[in-house]
A and B are shown apart, each in its own frame.
Chain A
Amino acid sequence: MTLSPEEFENPLQEITRTSKTADPCVLVIFGATGDLTARKLLPALYNLAREGQLPTHFACVAFARRDKTDEDFRNEMKEAISKFSRVKPIDEDLWNIFSKQLFYHKAEFHEDEGYESLSQMLKKLDNQFATKGNRVFYLSTQPSFFPLIISKLNEHHLIYNVDNVHDKWSRVIIEKPFGHDLKSAIALQQEISHHLDESQIYRIDHYLGKETVQNLLVFRFSNPIFESVWNNHYIDHVQITVSEEIGIGTRGKFWEESGMLRDIVQNHVMQLLSLVAMEPPANLNANSIRNEKDKVVEAIRPFPKGPFDKYAIRGQYAKGYINGMDVRSYRQEDNVAPDSNVETYAALELYIDNWRWFGVPFYVRAGKRLAKRATEISISFKNPPCVLFPSNNKIESNVLIIRIQPDEGISLKMNCKVPGLNSPIQPVKMDFRYGSYFGLAPPEAYERLICDCMSGDSTLFARVDEVLASWRLLTPLLEYWQSSPITEAELYPSGTWGPAAADQLIARENKKWRVL
């Protein structure tokens, strides 16, 4: 008696201890000669293979314009993996097997012959590796190429219509940014949705693949003690900080078209905010979680018309010192205009108008060339309703700090009595550090995300409605900033915590940015 795939329950599979099984597939990386493939994607695939998480039947094809052979590509990737893998040195035995699954396909994005020959190549790989016609297309290219590539893939029947084809699947992973403002995001979505169903689109935001970000859901929804105070009755304000010490490096050209709001705030920061603020989902299905995240973004109060300065501060890094070394200003960086208007710092005061959060300010800030590298979420709780202790005692508010990177962990600041007679009150910290408790290096974000895409789990990928909602919120601010030149006051010395106006933004409500 033959069971259909829907009826089949593998008697050899233990549900409770089985990790996600990715389906057999071929992964095609467009723009594979770029930095992302060498630094992140191939090391991720290698580590998945090392941990037995790569599908049994798998191949990877690099689709790019440069002239290379399979062997050239494999050698380059071996070097990249040796340098960038989280586990070193490279396992030669594993590499010998893994490398035989890597192929290079030289073609131009706009030429039909390239796609025709890719189609032939994929059919051959299906026979060789039993990948069953399943495809993941990773678009690691400039966003302007997305519609072209997707349309060509469709034209050459490399992506399948989900209504007609059920025995195999095709998925497309798109790197951020998804559009550069609301209009372009809508246009991009319209173009690609001619060829793809939403279920086939995986908008990657690598922050969602981080262990500490995934821990947010576990922390919130498996610890009722916190969920019961996770609202405007008890929380005074929330701060989200994404701070980098480094400058823009060699990405001047990219940064001039992007800026902090597009590169970090619209995606990473909004993802963190929605995970902190969301309601408990009905279950752990991708759509249940993403529904709740989208509701948060939709509920964020739009910026009022008029000057944005009351709620949004921008900055651009000037000369300064990082780790004792002189660093140049943004405008002195390569490929940056000497009178550039692009922000390298943004701080916003946001409000979520729903029952849980009404009246609680969310202060978010993101910047380059700040005092240190840190990404954290801090939840500051309200002070006690009345003061029991003598007035010479300063009661500090309780603060729950979730450190996303580095020094990943969670700490809680609370007040204790200093031992002795008539003693003051002293804030102390309860601290949990990932590194102390779980000694090994966790999987990199891309490992988790690629594996999830191959398994068909879109939980950790952004859905179109939440993307468009965040563009809807931020586009007016982008347009305002684009039309007004950066002022002297908006320049901040590298190595500080940003422009003074950002301190004034939060000080208006008698609050201060956390010292990280």
Chain B
Amino acid sequence: MTASSEIQITDIEGELAHLGNLQKEKKQVKAALFNLIVYAQDKPHAERLNKLVLNVIEKFPCRIIFILKNDIRPDYLHVVVSHQIAEAGEQTIVCDRIFIEASAQNLVRIPFIILPHILPDLPVNLLWGKDPSQEKEILPHLKPLATKIIFASEYLDGFRHFSRNILSFMKDSSVDFMDINWALLSSWRDVLSKIFDTPTAIERLQSCNNLNIRYSVNKNSTQREEVHAVYLFCWLVGQLNWKFQSYEKRDKSHFLTYKSFSNQIAVTLTPQANDELPQGSILGVEIACKNHCLYSIACVPDATKVVIHTSSADTCELPITLPLPCLRKGFTFMKELFYFRTTEHYRHMLEALGQVNW
């Protein structure tokens, strides 16, 4: 990032122009595929979102408008304009970055501050560090302009509550949504759809009687480390039409029972200590089906691949390996976030999520 200093709101455009001249002198390339408006409700969230933004601009340069809620003083409002530099392939690309810190009292002014600085004719993507159904000061003004709202469901307030709010929010909105945790799960969803890719395999999955999903927890675990495991499981429920029967939480594991067409399914979501991977990463899925058929899908230690063992009463197949694209920063993840539409699978998953009193 280039050096930056606080400026007045009225000087934003002037400062962007000044930086533009400096960039031309250095023969750097400025590019923007879309506007990215980011909202963080506190500094730890801002750091996490900023890391994501840096990954975004490496793949898709954009104009960044970063809003941080900061109650340092009741009337606090602080604006900084800079260039964010991305090393993309052999080129150095610069992206405009407008950073606004505002107290809760001043959040209502934010939409009016940023509206003139949205690049016309380009998509407007909102990256929201708060449950978008609950944010009332800024988002309602920006939603009519938005192409997509991307949010991190780790900030949500209870699965059931979240599911209902988001389903209702999506119903009333023509904007596309992307839940970051849902995007991060795309590689696991791909893996499962590739493993169970024939009518026979799906029938076997429907006949499963035991399903265990293991996920990582580490020493400094905060809440919601089970998000991915819960999402993955609820996706299966939604797509396979399993009926909820019971739920219990014991010793940090989650125990559920569901019913498929013909049998009862016992589901366990099991935390497992692991300090190597980001918390909540799925470590493995074990599925026991009728006729002693077993699927064991396990992540390798660096989570770049899964190894799949399949066996039945008569055969034991050689293990196969499928890649898990590095989804925290790779091109695949960025495409998921910005270019793929959320499908009915997400809605079905949310509906399944809302059925359980977690």
Contact = CB atoms under 8 A, between A and B. Distances in A.
Interface in A485-507: none
A10 B200 CA distance: 11
A225 interface: no
A436 B30 CA distance: 8
Interface string A118-161: 00000000001010000000000000000000000000000000
A4 interface: yes
Interface string B177-191: 000000000110110
B199 A439 contact: no
Which of B186, B193, B196, B341 has the most C-beta atoms of chain A within 10 angstroms of its own C-beta? Answer: B193
Interface in B284-328: 300, 304-305, 317-318, 320-323, 325
A347 B29 CA distance: 36
B194 A440 contact: no
Nearest to B200: A2
A4 B29 contact: no
B93 A21 contact: no
Interface in B186-243: 186-187, 189-190, 192-200, 202-203, 236, 239-240
Contacts of B325: 51-52
A435 B29 CA distance: 10
Contacts of A2: 199-200, 203
A356 B89 CA distance: 40
Interface stretch (A12-20, A369-377, A444-452): A12-20
Given A16-B340, A52-B323, A57-B320, A4 B199 contact: yes
A435 B59 contact: no
Given A8-B199, A11-B239, A97-B321, A439 B193 contact: no
A111 interface: no
B58 A439 contact: yes
Interface string A70-104: 00000000000000000000000110010000000
Given A2-B200, A51-B323, A437 B341 contact: no
A506 to B, nearest CB: 34
Contact of B343 (A7, A16, A49): A16
Given A17-B186, A17-B343, A130-B317, A10 B196 contact: yes
A419 interface: no
Contacts of B300: 93
Given A2-B203, A56-B194, A439-B91, A14 B345 contact: yes
B322 A52 contact: yes
A317 B353 CA distance: 70
Contacts of A382: none
A12 B322 contact: no
B1 interface: no
B323 A438 contact: no
Interface string A1-43: 0111101101111111110010000000000000000000000
A437 B331 CA distance: 13
A21 B195 CA distance: 12
Chain B binding surface, main DSSP class: mixed
Contacts of A65: none
Nearest to A440: B331
A441 interface: yes
A17 B336 contact: yes
Given A14-B343, A128-B318, A437 B199 contact: no
A17 B187 CA distance: 11
B54 to A, nearest CB: 13
Interface in B65-124: 86, 88-91, 93
A12 B323 contact: no
A243 B203 CA distance: 56
Contacts of B60: 437-438
A310 interface: no
B287 to A, nearest CB: 13
B175 interface: no
Contacts of B90: 435
Interface string B33-76: 10000000000000000000000001111000000000000000
Nearest to B325: A52
Contact of A56 (B29, B202, B322): B322
B300 to A, nearest CB: 8
A413 interface: no
Chain A interface residue bracket vs B: 35 or more
B31 interface: yes
A50 interface: yes
A436 B93 contact: yes
B202 A435 contact: no
A437 B322 contact: no
Contact of A12 (B61, B89, B193, B200): B193
Contact of B192 (A3, A12, A433, A439): A12
A439 B89 contact: yes
Contacts of A441: 89
Contact of B59 (A3, A50, A51, A438): A438
A10 B193 contact: yes
Contacts of B317: 130
Contacts of A51: 323, 325
Contacts of A97: 305, 321
A439 B86 contact: yes
Contacts of A11: 202, 239-240
B350 to A, nearest CB: 15
B274 to A, nearest CB: 19
Contacts of A57: 320
B332 to A, nearest CB: 8
Given A12-B193, A439-B88, A56 B199 contact: no
A435 B87 CA distance: 11
Nearest to B317: A130
B31 A437 contact: yes
Nearest to B319: A97
Contacts of B236: 12
Contacts of A94: 305, 323
B192 A50 contact: no
A256 to B, nearest CB: 38
Contacts of B202: 8, 10-12
A103 B187 CA distance: 29
Nearest to B320: A56
A24 B90 CA distance: 36
Contacts of A21: 194, 197
B321 A437 contact: no
A93 B305 contact: yes
A14 B182 CA distance: 13
Contacts of A437: 31, 33, 60-61
A19 B195 CA distance: 15
Nearest to A5: B199
B199 A3 contact: yes
A439 B198 contact: no
Contacts of B187: 52
Contacts of A130: 317
A436 B60 CA distance: 9
B336 A436 contact: no
A436 B187 CA distance: 27
B88 A440 contact: yes
24 contacts: A3-B199, A4-B199, A5-B199, A7-B199, A10-B193, A11-B202, A12-B193, A12-B202, A13-B193, A16-B341, A17-B186, A49-B323, A52-B187, A52-B325, A433-B29, A435-B88, A436-B31, A436-B88, A437-B31, A437-B61, A438-B60, A439-B58, A439-B59, A440-B331
Q: List the 9 closest pairs (A to B, CB-CB), nearest first.
A: A439-B88, A12-B193, A52-B323, A3-B199, A17-B340, A11-B239, A439-B89, A13-B193, A8-B199
Given A12-B197, A12-B236, A439-B61, 4 more contacts: A12-B202, A50-B323, A97-B321, A433-B29
